[in-house]
Amino acid sequence: MTRSAYRLSAGSRSRRRLAMLQSESAEVPELETAGSDDAAGSWDIAPDPLMSEVEETESLRVIRRLVLGSRPANWVFCGDGITHAVEDGRTDRSFPELFAQRVRWDHRRLLDTVITTAASGTRCAALAASIELQALRFRPDVVAVLLGLTDSLAGPGGRETFEAGLNDLVDQLTVPGAVVLMQTPHRVLLKGNERYTDLPAYVEIIRHVAAATEVILVDHWADWGGDERMAADWADWLLDDGRHPNGRGHRRMAGLLSHVLGIGST
């Protein structure tokens, strides 16, 4: 169980979430991937000390218990164009589609549903205002939120609104039976995409809110390495626009997501 340095008030989000999850805290074994060699081998996660260890939490324990169980589950992906993945000319699968393969095929959970409601251009405030339609109506077991790229276009003046929106989302998604996880955006090539120069600050906001609310964090930004690597190797991960992930980028994102959740990675 994750321990906070701060005492939780009786009405806090963290206490409510712990109360919902503690009944699911029994030990569960490690999962094994049952998929084909081709499916597993295409997941491009390189050995990385930063990502090799994932801290055990009640939420992660619940997800592994869910995958090992027999009850069909609903997985919902919300966010902006990174999750939507509708760039012109893209033919590779997006990371939610690859994750669906991991859960529904590799783990033989054929009755699970993996739903993507993300839409290009979505900002945090808009998602918070429509979260009933975009997530809660599906009675989700897991909700994955990836925002920040579009919101960062507002620059320093939009940071406070973004943080408030993320907190609003967590409040609304803290319902019985739902596990919430946040994701940071991947890195972008800033040369030619100068409008996104404030993106690192928005990444830090996501990390802060995830830590403060004790939800799972999948940190794609950290996994993609530093600015020096991005400048040298961006074509390996991004489309020609230097902003949206290519097929390999989406495979890496799906692989990291699976690794953090403990449901199989290469």
- Of residues 20 and 4, the one with the higher pLDDT is 20
Find the helix or strand (DSSP H, E) in which 79 lies. strand 74-79
Helices 159-173 and 199-213: crossing angle in degrees, nearest 10, is 30
**For 139-178, how does the pLDDT look when each residue is reduced to its tens digit (9 = 90+)?**
999 999 999 999 999 999 999 999 999 999 999 999 999 9
Band of the pLDDT at 65, cuts 50, 70, 90? very high
- Of residues 232 and 35, the one with the higher pLDDT is 232
Nearest to 214 by CA among 62, 15, 65: 15
pLDDT at residue 266 tops 60:
no
pLDDT at residue 108 tops 70:
yes
Mean pLDDT of 33-53: 45
Helix (H, G, I), strand (E, B) or coil at 179: strand
pLDDT at residue 57 tops 80:
yes
Question: Could you tell me if 221 and 184 are in contact, meaning their C-beta atoms sit under 8 angstroms apart?
Answer: yes
> How far is residue 229's CA from residue 258's CA, in Å, rounded to a whole number?
23
Mean pLDDT of 243-250: 91
Q: Which of 20-34, 41-55, 108-122, 218-232 has the highest mean pLDDT?
A: 108-122
pLDDT at residue 84 tops 70:
yes
* pLDDT score at 26: 45
Band of the pLDDT at 92, cuts 50, 70, 90? confident
SS3 letters for 25-71? CCCCCCCCCCCCHHHHHCCCCCCCHHHHCCCCCHHHHHHHHHHHCCC
Domains and CATH numbers, the chain: 13-261 (3.40.50.1110)
pLDDT at residue 106 tops 70:
yes
Pairing of strands 113-116, 142-146: unpaired
* pTM for the full predicted model: 0.82
**For 119-145, how does the pLDDT look when each residue is reduced to its tens digit (9 = 90+)?**
998 999 999 999 999 999 999 999 999
* pLDDT score at 236: 87
- CB within 8 A of 7, min separation 6: which ones? none
Residue 83 one-letter amino acid:
T
- Alpha carbon 55 to its chain centroid, in Å, reads 16
Mean pLDDT of 85-91: 67
**Partners of 115 in the beta sheet?**
76
**For 201-238, how does the pLDDT look when each residue is reduced to its tens digit (9 = 90+)?**
999 999 999 999 999 999 999 999 887 887 888 888 89
- CB within 8 A of 247, min separation 6: which ones? 90, 91, 92, 93
> How far is residue 192's CA from residue 188's CA, in Å, rounded to a whole number?
10
Band of the pLDDT at 19, cuts 50, 70, 90? low
pLDDT at residue 110 tops 50:
yes
Nearest to 260 by CA among 42, 76, 59: 59
* pLDDT score at 73: 97
* pLDDT score at 113: 97
Residue 234 one-letter amino acid:
W
